[in-house]
Structure 1
Amino acid sequence: MSMGETSLREVKRAATRRALARTTYEMVLERGLDDVTVDEVTSAVQLSRRTFSNYFAGKEEAVAEVLVLTVQDGLAGWTTPAGGDLLTGVRSLVEHQFAGDLPNVLASFRRLCADHPQLVPFWNDALWRTWSLAVGHLRSTVRPGGDGVDADLAMVTGAVYGVVSRHFGMAAEEHAHDPGAGSLDAVVTGLTRVLARLEVALGPEGDAAVRAAETAGGAEIARRAR
């Protein structure tokens, strides 16, 4: 099989996966998980049940895939800020994602998980996958190879993931019927606060603190070696 044929096959598989996920998500969003069957989904997209099984283990996995697709689309449409540092890139990406479909998808998943707790593990898995996608994309586009970039990237993206998962991942289990638990305003406020603190940590003040800690640590090691 030629490279062109392989690429075309991959494009078709991605389109099929997207169609199955989107159709399942829209049906479940409209009618509820229990009132949608795999046969109805495959009939709507004119595919077989066997094809569905080749892509997803069940309706829950197909529904959760929409979060991954939404973030993938956002990453594809995002342009890295020219000359920006790591934090500028992360802030730009967060703003870009939240300016698109992601807020609506997050809100809809919170409602779905509240009504159908069996979706929660699939949702949490999808949330983790989107974080991994974002980290990989940032690593390849923002300050690649810079000193300490991996440690800084892990710190910044980990903080962002923590805010989003706290408000949407945990909200489904702990605060299923609390209207404010997973509100977008709360997420935006949390992200703004965290990014502001990280700006200090990654700035001159943070660098000075790191140098001081390294110096103190080196002195302590030397003292113990005597």
Structure 2
Amino acid sequence: METTAGLRERKKAETRQAIHKATMRLAVERGLDHVTVDDIVEAANVSRRTFSNYFGNKEDALLYGEEQRIRSLVRAVRERPAEESGWQALRGAVRDELEDVGEPEREWAVRTSLARRHPALLARQLANHAELERELVQAISDREGSGEPGADLKRRIMAAAFLVALRIATNIWIEEQEARPLSQIMEQALDEIARPFA
């Protein structure tokens, strides 16, 4: 029974990933405005009903990978060693994530550029980042306990500063056309912003 359930979940994950990749490829080739759900289901070799079982619209399908990485980062922060400070856990989690998945692919950079130009994607990304910030603040709070007065403010600033550093590093990486590894630029950005939190 568990084997069947595990296989079913793996097939679902593979289908979701296939739809996401097809959406990404078509959006990169044509621009998101010129891609329909029918185009996506044909490219992913699934039915329209299957698409609807996994995603509400093409924006959901396109941003699926990013949203999975957000969940993975929060999980990684929560799994860091208990003796680490909040800032050390944030840095260690992003370092581990990059080591696990490797440097991002060109498609990821293209999708980031697409999001800057497409209002629906930009709004969704901003909402995702706001949620990520809230979840990181909670993960830090769970790690450090209630703390001294003003701890909540410090944690909010820490999470926001961490995400700003990652965004700046990503933008530089894209602007430099991937001349340096993203991990190197992120480490430099985090060093610059870390002084109050280290």
Q: Please state which band the TM-score falls in when normalised by the shorter chain.
A: 0.5 to 0.7
Q: Please give the root-mean-square deviation of Cα atoms over the aligned residues, in Å.
A: 4.2
Runs of 5+ consecutive residues of structure 1 not aligned to the other structure:
172-177, 200-226
Tell me the residue number matched to 2:157: 155
Q: Contact 2:169–2:189 (CA<8 Å) still a contact in 1?
A: no
Q: How does 1:23-172 map to 2 (within 5 A)?
A: 23-74=22-73, 80-81=80-81, 83-99=83-99, 100=101, 103-104=104-105, 107-135=109-137, 137-138=139-140, 143=143, 145=145, 147-148=147-148, 151=152, 152-164=154-166
Letter in 1 for 2:85: D
For structure 2, list consecutive stretches of 5 or more residues without a partner in the other structure.
none
Q: Deviations over 1:44-80 (max 9, x none)?
A: 3332212323433321222122211233345566751
Determine if contact 1:75/1:137 at 8 Å carries over to the other structure.
yes
> Where does residue 20 of structure 1 map in the other structure?
19
TM-score relative to the length of structure 1: 0.59
With the length of structure 2 as denominator, give the TM-score of the two structures: 0.65
- In 2, Cα distance between equivalents of 1:134 and 1:51: 33
Q: 1:135 to 1:12 in 2, by over 3 A?
A: farther
Q: Which moved more, 1:44-53 or 1:129-138?
A: 129-138
Residues 38, 59 of structure 1: 8 Å contact kept: yes
* C-alpha spacing 1:53/1:135, structure 2 compared with 1 (3 Å): farther
> Contact conserved, 1:135 with 1:153, CA < 8 A, in 2?
yes
Matched residues in 1 for 2:98 and 2:92: separation?
10
Is residue 81–residue 92 contact of structure 1 (8 Å, CA) maintained in 2? no
Larger radius of gyration: 1
Q: 2: distance between equivalents of 1:14 and 1:132?
A: 26
How many residues were matched structurally?
Answer: 187
